[in-house]
Amino acid sequence: MIIWIASYPKSGNTYIRSFIASYYFSKKGKFEFDLLLNILQFPSVKFSKKNIYSEKEASDNWIYNQNQFFVGDKINFIKTHNSIEKFKDNQFTSSDQTLGAIYIVRDPRNLITSLMHHYSLDYDAAYSKLTNENASLLEKPKDNDHSNFTFLGSWSNHYRSWKNSKDFKTLFIKYEDLQNNKYDTFRRIIQFINDLKGDQSSINEKKFLNSINSTNFSNLKNKEENEGFEESVYSKSGEKKRFFNLGFNNRWQKILPKNILNKLNKTLQNELNDLGYKIDD
């Protein structure tokens, strides 16, 4: 069975994965990058039983591959950026494969600048990606391999697809609470996972604190600078970019051009209100 760590890209997925990996896959809660190998990404080449050559074939095989790799009672923590809207009449997952999910949502007005940095986009291109109902990811395609094809859809549809799913329990985490309400938020994550697993044991407080402290943003950023991080990407000029870039210092109030801010506030007004993100005129 799967516990998804799900989000739209650049919303804090790796931060949450790092904490979970530290707590559940280390002896003392001390984070190392190789612990992330316990929470791999789906869809991916690693989790594909067939050669996939198109988006349709990719979606045809999402549930098939989950049934091949994540069968039985063993619990698998799996990262995804996939929407769970239907794509080409195919579901992404169901309660037969999924035990539950943790979904991380981030204020899109901060998210947009992280998208720009990571994918080498300008403001207009990043805005178009956020609002494109057909947006997708296909990283490092080789020989037309579509095994890691990920359907995003628009940011709004992505968020609502996970929010409105009734197939399994989903814990919603706001990225901003990882700073503003850190200890309570991480405690909720552990309690949610333990409940899904039927684990009645109490939280290991020492390991819990170590996991939080060893995965704070500054530590992750320093580890990347000193050790490198395989999930970082390269710019169009071939320069390696920081994966852990601004983090909580990314403040749309100081960064966003007025025209982009106005477009985001107008287009995403319902979702911003729904999530309690203040809209400033």
Residue 220's CATH number: 3.40.50.300
Average pLDDT over residues 84-105: 97
Q: Is residue 206 part of a domain?
A: yes
Query: Cα(137)–Cα(105) distance, rounded to whole angstroms?
Result: 18
196 DSSP 8-state letter: H
Structural contact between residues 215 and 189, judged by C-beta atoms closer than 8 angstroms: no
Q: Is residue 64 part of a domain?
A: yes
Average pLDDT over residues 66-92: 95
Query: Cα(54)–Cα(57) distance, rounded to whole angstroms?
Result: 5
Q: How confident is the model at residue 116 (pLDDT cuts 50, 70, 90)?
A: confident
Q: Is residue 280 part of a domain?
A: no
Structure tokens at 39: 């929470």
Q: Is residue 123 part of a domain?
A: no
Q: Is residue 168 part of a domain?
A: yes
Q: Is residue 147 part of a domain?
A: yes
For residue 194, the enclosing domain spans 2-107+136-242
Domains: count for the chain:
1
Question: Who contacts 206 (Cβ-Cβ below 8 Å, separation ≥6)?
Answer: 28, 29
- Residue 251 pLDDT > 90: no
Least reliable range by pLDDT among 93-102, 160-169, 244-253:
244-253
> Which among 81, 116, 128 has a CA at the least distance from the CA of 235?
116
- Residue 234 pLDDT > 70: no
| More confident position, 244 or 90 | 90
Rounded percentage of the chain residues whose pLDDT exceeds 90: 72
Q: Is residue 169 part of a domain?
A: yes
Q: Is residue 115 part of a domain?
A: no
For 275, the enclosing helix (H) or strand (E) is helix 269-275
